[in-house]
Amino acid sequence: MYQPRQQNNALAAALILFATAFIAATTLMAKSLGTDTLGPALPALQISHGRFLFAFIALSSVAAIVRPKLSKPRWRLHIARTSFGWAGVTLMFASVAYIPLADATAISFLNPVFGMMLAIPLLREQVGRVRWSAAVLALIGALILLRPTPDSFQSAALLALGAAMVMGLELVFIKKLAGRENPFQILLVNNLIGLCIATFAVLPVWQVPTGQQWALLAGIGLCMAVAQTCFVNAMARADASFVAPFSYATLIFAALYDALFYGVRPDGVTYIGAGIILAGAFWLALREARLKKPAPTAPTSV
């Protein structure tokens, strides 16, 4: 059984902020690969394959050096969790090629809302009026970001919405894995299974990347390995209710990167929709913290 580490809120906050910067960087690189910025656009399946390939190479290299103590993995939980994580990250990478990073990132914050809804039938959790109110508020924000008018509707935003729904399913299995295995083992097994799934999925659409595209594929994998490492270490050192608000900094970094590299600046609709989603998600996080003290969780696969 994994032994929790000493609590350190300041270090946990710093680690989660580093993680959000790296996570936003992966979506920026995925956007470059999914468009013709550096050559013919790569399919989202190939981008997610690169994410798992290079993340697994990085983590397995670390494992070979430090030789961590590993236990028998709970394979069924890992396979279910990673399958949904792979699907979610693939949909997310597909969406950022067509819509602003800030919009896609804000919509992705709905995953705990969908996780809450799915926990009702799958984990038999009881959901009260306050949590339902928070969920409805966040969904209203997502509806705003979809811009549901004939002239401004963003159909690609449905990909980000689908990613949030699938990652909500992933959260259900993360809850079942929480605290049962060493965080590094969870990362290693997650990326191994993800690589296997992504390899079979990419075969029909594989195309030879350019040198620059290979570099970005490697960058996505390495950034995700670093982000996940920061995330699990943050969760091991502080309560999830303390860490959760800092994870919303991903939206700030995503908007900043999009403005710096693509000249895309959030409009009023983005500010309103993202603000409502953040309010709903934050309200839900506060409510969860009051209901019970959550156990440390494993990282999502974004």
Q: For the segment 118-157, what is each residue's pLDDT rounded down to a tens digit?
A: 877 877 777 777 778 878 888 888 888 888 766 657 788 8
Q: State the average pLDDT over residues 184-206.
A: 94
**What pLDDT does 290 receive?**
64
Q: Higher-confidence residue: 302 or 174? A: 174
Query: Can you give the length of the chain in residues?
Result: 302
* Residue 157 or residue 239, greater confidence: 157
Encoding tokens for residue 268? Answer: 């009023």
Mean pLDDT of the chain: 85
Residue 244 and residue 238: Cα distance in Å, rounded?
10
**Residue 288: which H helix or E strand, with range?**
helix 268-291
138: closest CA among 293, 248, 18, 21?
Answer: 248
Question: What is the pLDDT averaged over residues 61-88?
Answer: 91
Mean pLDDT of 234-255: 78
Between CA 60 and CA 189 the distance in angstroms is 10
More confident residue, 4 or 53: 53
Q: What is the pLDDT of residue 294?
A: 46
pLDDT value of position 289: 62
User: Given this model, what pLDDT does residue 181 score?
Assistant: 79
pLDDT of residue 301: 57
Is the CB of residue 90 less than 8 Å from the CB of residue 44? yes
Sign of CA dihedral 154, 156, 158, 161: negative
Nearest to 285 by CA among 125, 106, 138: 138
Distance CA 102, CA 117 (A): 24
Angle between helices 129-145 and 268-291 (to 10 degrees): 160
Task: Calculate mean pLDDT across residues 168-178.
Answer: 80
Give me the torsion for CA of 46, 51, 54, 59, rounded to 10°. -150
Least confident of 41-50, 144-153, 282-291: 282-291
Average pLDDT over residues 41-68: 94
Residue 212, number of CB atoms within 10 A of its CB: 13
Rounded alpha-carbon distances, angstroms, from residue 172 to 124, 178, 297: 11, 10, 11
Res 240: pLDDT: 63
- CA distances, 274 to each of 108, 196, 227, 228 (Å): 10, 34, 22, 24
- C-alpha span between 18 and 274 (Å, rounded): 21
pLDDT, position 302: 58
> Where are the chain's structural domains?
9-291
Confidence of residue 295 (pLDDT cuts 50, 70, 90): very low
> pTM here?
0.85
In terms of average pLDDT, the best of 96-100, 139-143, 216-220 is 216-220
Q: Please name the residues in contact with 199: beta carbons below 8 A apart, sequence gap of 6 or more.
A: 49, 53
Q: What is the pLDDT of residue 178?
A: 66
* Average pLDDT rounded to a whole number, residues 241-259: 83
- pLDDT for residue 117: 81
For residues 175-196, average pLDDT: 86
